Amino acid sequence: MVTREDILKAASLRAPRRVNSYFVEIGGKRYPVKQLLELASGAEPAQFYTDAARRALEALEFEIGKVP
């Protein structure tokens, strides 16, 4: 199971990719939700949908933003 600390650590190790829709802001940088879950869990991004990543991060009490 991925923890909030896993997400924060993953964000500290990589630069964010381009955000297409949903993001989490960490340290003033916007990370795509799928990138964070991919880095923290080791899962391939094709293995889950953006909505699943968004829900997982919301469950860990991250605030999700959306590109207008």
Domain chopping of the chain, boundaries? 4-66
Number of Cβ within a 10 Å radius of residue 49:
11
Q: Output the CA–CA distances (angstroms, integers) from residue 42 to 27, 28, 35, 45, 66, in the order listed.
A: 22, 24, 10, 9, 24
Return the pLDDT at 1: 87
Residue 44 contacts by C-beta under 8 Å, 6 or more apart in sequence?
38
> What pLDDT was estimated at residue 20?
95
Residue range 18-38, pLDDT digits in tens:
999 999 999 999 999 999 999
Question: What pLDDT was estimated at residue 28?
Answer: 97
The answer to whether the CB of 33 falls within 8 A of the CB of 45 is no
Confidence (pLDDT) at 45: 87
> pLDDT value at position 52?
95
pTM for the model = 0.93
